Chains A and B, each alone.
Chain A
Amino acid sequence: NAGVMQNPRHLVRRRGQEARLRCSPMKGHSHVYWYRQLPEEGLKFMVYLQKENIIDESGMPKERFSAEFPKEGPSILRIQQVVRGDSAAYFCASSPQIAGGTYNEQFFGPGTRLTVL
Chain B
Amino acid sequence: QKEVEQNSGPLSVPEGAIASLNCTYSDRGSQSFFWYRQYSGKSPELIMFIYSNGDKEDGRFTAQLNKASQYVSLLIRDSQPSDSATYLCAVNRDDKIIFGKGTRLHILP
Question: What residues of chain A have their CB less than 8 Å away from a CB belonging to chain B?
Answer: 33, 35, 41-45, 48, 55-56, 91, 102-111
Count A/B pairs, Cβ under 8 Å: 54
**Which of B36, B43, B49, B94 has the most chain A CB atoms closer than 10 A to its own CB?**
B43
Complex formed: what's the CA distance from A17 to B95 in Å? 32
Complex formed: what's the CA distance from A104 to B46 in Å? 12
Are A105 and B34 interface neighbours, CB within 8 A?
Answer: yes
The size of the chain B interface, using a CB distance under 8 A, is 22
Complex formed: what's the CA distance from A110 to B41 in Å? 9
Complex formed: what's the CA distance from A91 to B100 in Å? 15
Task: Give chain A nearest CB distance to B88 CB in angstroms.
Answer: 7
Task: Give chain A nearest CB distance to B5 CB in angstroms.
Answer: 11
A43-B44, A91-B44, A109-B43 known; A104-B99 Cβ under 8 A: no
